[in-house]
Amino acid sequence: MKAIENRLKKLRDIIEQHNYNYYILDAPTISDGEYDAIFRDLYALETKHPELIIPTSPTQRVGAEPLIEFGTIEHRVPMLSLSNAMDTEELIVFDERMKKELCIKENILYIAEPKLDGLGIELIYEQGIFIKGSTRGNGFTGEDITRNLKTIRSLPLKLIGGNAPTLLEVRAEVFIKKHDFFKLNKSRESEKIPVFANPRNAAAGSMRQLDTRITIKRPLSFFCYGAGKIEGINFETHHEYLLALKRMGLPVNPLIKTVNGAKGIKAYYHELEKIRNELPYEIDGTVFKVNDYQLQNKLGTRSRSPRWAIAGKFKPQQATTIIHDIVVQVGRTGALTPVARLAPVNVAGVTITNATLHNQDEIDRKDIRIGDTILIERAGDVIPRIVQVILEKRPKESTPYRINTHCPICNQKSFKPNDEVVARCLNISCPAQVKGRIQHFVSKPAMNIDGLGERIIDQLVETGLLKTVDDIFTLEQQALSELDGLGKKSAEKLIQSINKSKRTVFSRFVYALGIRNVGEHIAQVLEKHYNGRLKEFKNAKPEELKNIDEIGPIVAQSVVQFWQNNNNRKIVNNCIERGVFLKEMTKHINQPFSGQIFVFTGSLKNLTRQEIKERVEHLGGKTAVSVSKKTSYLVVGPGAGSKLKKAEDLAVSIISEDEFLDIAH
């Protein structure tokens, strides 16, 4: 057995070394075929001896069963945003301000780096082992995406070098390279799956997949750029820190360099701007940070950004082209959005054929017409926008463009409230809205139908088995089992999930219907008033609705308009006829949480956040996302961070999840 353990260790070390050569040094020493052969040897040996598999083995990056939802992780050190400079003049002002605040005249050394257009993340290593990782989130709390991060080949599960700190929190940016993005979209086109709008969306969407078997197929990369909390080692400069990361096996952008004063900042900014389109990944500017950590500490931070760093944004890249046509697209909520079809033009290395026109007001303001020659710009991941019309080139026969008063898909009359700029199709059976509305209908806060994901919904709609949400309750096991990716067992589970969803509460069903301006909270307000009396709700007049606490004229108008549409009424009636039963809300007699506010932090093992919210509200209380003097209880799970300290400072009652469950029965 010792010989097998030694062989496993040797294979793992060889693979990790080749990963380091390939991803960090960019100097592979073996072919992909040779690498794959070593990997297969390791996998085969571990399969024979599963008791010898360790969490940091390269084989443990494989996709796993989908999660129900992400947990959250609090950042020990907030992941702050950066203030922006829009040109080199503002960057020089930044340098002058740094010298003034530090009371020095000599040049300051800065770390200069490309500003990648990706998703900000934090990686946490303890004793050199990757423990968990999260998104930036709101800067204080992020989503726990540990499993998805493990699928990235260039991310070391164990740091190399044998001198890892006790705790190392690393800030990084996940992105997809341009050529990988192109291949990914080509593949999606061939499979008739909607393509991604840009590399940033693709990277962010991949990291937020609940099913890691999807993430592992995405060509994700990342570069490290910053630090969170570090214990067990000290660094004097940011440059020293970045070099240490590279030695430990973490990828650092090779274009990062030290620059000297304002002159160095200007030179780096212009140099990077010249080569931005030649880089293998998207960037939208540069970042400059004071290199010396002592100086950083002296400069401090503002509420949302550090004083010692700034992003130098590049100017939007522009081009001229011609509008061949204007078409109106219909979104999930029925929003009618005009889109200009353009003569293909290359902007910032990307071929542009479409530009959003937003709404009729925007079209009127810029007097945009079919046949116009226009100036467009694209900055980073921003959808191309029309800067202006070149009137000198306008065709003489052109006429102003007006969005049709009827939906271009279902031909039903659209509606535009006087106080809104967007016109909408109110027919929820409109084919353009079907897929999105079904996804919303089956989501966890709504009807909570597990197993009816985006891919399955696409197939069901395209095969004609689903035309509207009420069709869900007519699906048969045999037809489901014939879908790609669904066998007999999965189809049986899906039918069970559909049947289970039929017995629900008023608020979930109303939220699932996707009524404009009726979110989860408003649906619960309506539930308290109507308590399952759907017929009364369907026939409610605007005055009656406006008399309900928290229901204003906008919500009242949206509800009335929804029920005025005969298709909507028919769909709801079909749902009820096909078995949907709305349980009456049983009000807890004692309302023990009345007037109390609960905040939750850390990982919770028994309940999801949605279930907790429902439990608290059922007992008369409220939930909040941050701790304040008004907080009654902070419920703490593993991984609690800044909220716990704030609660202690404010003398807020702190209880465990088990203690919460004891009082929330």
> Would you please indicate which residues are annotated as catalytic (active-site) residues?
115
If residue 322 lies in a helix (H) or strand (E), which one and from where to where? strand 317-330
Packing angle, helices 431-442 and 454-462, rounded to 10: 140
The CA distance from 144 to 162, in Å, is: 27
Q: Are 283 and 114 in contact (CB under 8 A)?
A: yes
Strand partners, 120: 173
Which residues are CB-neighbours of 392 under 8 A, at least 6 positions away?
none
| Helix segments in 123-260, DSSP class H | 146-149, 178-190, 199-207, 212-215, 238-247
> Degrees (nearest 5) of the Cα angle 476, 481, 483?
105
How far, in Å, are 316, 386, 398 from residue 376 at the CA level? 9, 4, 20
Tokens for 343? 């003569």
Q: Give 3-state DSSP helix, strand, coil % of the chain, rounded to 5.
A: 40, 20, 40
Give the total residue count for the chain: 665
**Given the DSSP bridges, would you call strands 633-636 and 317-330 parallel, antiparallel or unpaired?**
unpaired
- How many C-beta atoms surround the C-beta of residue 328 within 10 A? 19
- How many C-beta atoms surround the C-beta of residue 199 within 10 A? 24
Closest listed residue to residue 611, CA positions, set 647, 661, 652, 575: 661
Which residues are CB-neighbours of 191 under 8 A, at least 6 positions away?
none
How far, in Å, are 15, 66, 234, 236 from residue 106 at the CA level? 47, 55, 26, 19
The CA distance from 273 to 315, in Å, is: 9
